[in-house]
Amino acid sequence: MNILVTGGAGFIGTHTLIELYKAGHTAVVIDNLSNSNPESLRRVAEIIGLPEIPFYKVDIRDREGLEAVFSKHKCDACIHFAGLKAVGESVEKPWEYYENNINGTLVLVDVMRHHGCKNIIFSSSATIYGDPAEIPITENCPKGQCTNPYGWTKSMLEQVLMDIQKADPEWNVVLLRYFNPVGAHPSGRIGENPNGIPNNLMPYITQVAVGKRKELGVFGNDYPTPDGTGVRDYIHVCDLAAAHVCALHAIDRKCGIGIYNIGTGHGYSVLDMVNAFIRVNHVDVPYSIKPRRAGDIATCYCNPAKAAAELGWRAQYGIDDMVRDSWHWQRNNPDGY
Ligand code: NAD
Ligand code: UD1
């Protein structure tokens, strides 16, 4: 298939491009580069062994720009990564988040249907479960209250896409609810490249390890978890990328609506991650215990059985691979791209 990849220059998009080409698909990337650098796509091409990846610097809110891409390239499906994703920033700038993520998706989907492309794989998030009603989380777990506008954009866009499919059954909508993506391509050439101070755990650990930050703050050690620190379902980004290729099978089978948790099913605490990082990489990560972070929950991990049964997808990488590949990328690229 030929796939339109929105946000393809970003962290998960770049890794997914590699998996798409490995599986025999081709891609066209659009990205406004608001949170990425075209160097990432140059490196993807280098890893795949192509002169370049077709790329357009287009914003998903730019109808004419999208029209031009769809007129030039016949696309069978869209993998839709483009969006703003910083939780704290979304609290400061809710209008910008709703406008970019929701308006952007509405314009994208409208242009898609005008061009007869009615297959979409959407990047959703475990955050839509709020404080989850059950652990491990299955897809039947009710959606919850999000603690920030970013989370609400994901929750609302799931509803928007399902309603569009309900009204026009020619659509196939796959909602992938990602748990916590970490790691990097084993080549060490592409990886996560956060702007400014990282919000998420793994990029913070790697920046402490490489000497860019003094110490990690562990946000709370009084949660009802085995060691008191928060437990999450960390997933290697290459496994997550592969899930998108498997999700194309659901589209092939005309799934209508498909909703899948994409995680490993294992919960690791903050200290599990820090200790694995130190053990595998033989590098120190100084840390101190800080108060809980507002909006955090104690435990979040999934039951990924539905993705295994229906998509044939299972995570292959473990915690040691995750911390090794995260470090490999950071050590080789201390200042990102
Ligand atoms: P990323 O920021 O690295 O990639 C997103 C890309 O989208 C960036 O390259 C950015 O420039 C682009 N973009 C943003 N707004 C755009 C617009 N209006 N038009 C065109 N391009 C635009 O983020 P990522 O980690 O690769 O995440 C990809 C998707 O997965 C996002 O939708 C994110 O919300 C979702 N997600 C990420 C995580 C995570 O922890 N990384 C977890 C759950 C869900
Ligand atoms: C966060 C977002 C979530 C988003 C997800 C994407 C919040 C409240 N939630 O989830 O909406 O979908 O990222 O991956 O921001 N931690 C520390 N010190 C740090 C950073 C994190 O102790 O410097 C802890 C956190 O308290 C948490 C765990 O590490 O227990 C993971 O945190 P993080 O990587 O930010 O992910 P989430 O909070 O799960």
Q: For residue 167, how far is its CA from the centre of ligand 2 (angstroms)?
A: 36
| Tokens (6 digits) for 236 | 């290697």
Beta-bridge mates of residue 30: 6, 56
Phi-psi region of 92 (alpha: psi -120 to 50; beta: other; left: phi over 0): alpha
> What CA–CA distance (Å, rounded) separates 126 from 150?
12
Which residue bears the tokens 């437990």? 231
Per-residue buried b or exposed e for 18-53, using 16+ beta carbons within 10 Å of the residue's own CB: bbbbeeebbbbbbbbeebbeeebbebbbebeeeeeb
Q: For residue 199, how far is its CA from the centre of ligand 2 (angstroms)?
A: 7
Segments in 1-103 forming alpha helices (H): 11-22, 39-48, 63-72, 87-92, 94-97
For 135-155, write each residue's pLDDT tens digit.
999 999 999 999 999 999 999
Instruction: Please tell me the number of the ligand nearest to residue 124's CA.
Output: 1
Q: For residue 287, give the 3-state DSSP assignment.
A: strand
pLDDT tier, 258 (very low <50, low <70, confident <90, very high otherwise): very high
For 109-139, write each residue's pLDDT tens digit.
999 999 999 999 999 999 999 999 999 999 9
Q: Is the pTM of this model over 0.85?
A: yes
For 191-200, write each residue's pLDDT tens digit.
999 988 999 9
Whether residue 212 is predicted with pLDDT greater than 90 in this model: the reply is yes
At residue 195, the pLDDT reads: 87
> Does 98 participate in catalysis according to the annotation?
no
Among 150, 204, 223, 234, the active-site one is 150
Looking at the CA of residue 12, tell me the nearest atom of ligand 1. 26
Instruction: Please tell me the number of the ligand nearest to residue 219's CA.
Output: 2
| Percent of all residues in the chain with a pLDDT value above 70, rounded to a whole number | 100
CA dihedral 299, 230, 143, 112 (to 10 degrees): -130
Closest by CA to 258, choosing from 200, 181, 176, 195, is: 176
pLDDT, mean over the chain? 97
| Percent of all residues in the chain with a pLDDT value above 90, rounded to a whole number | 99
Whether residue 263 is predicted with pLDDT greater than 90 in this model: the reply is yes
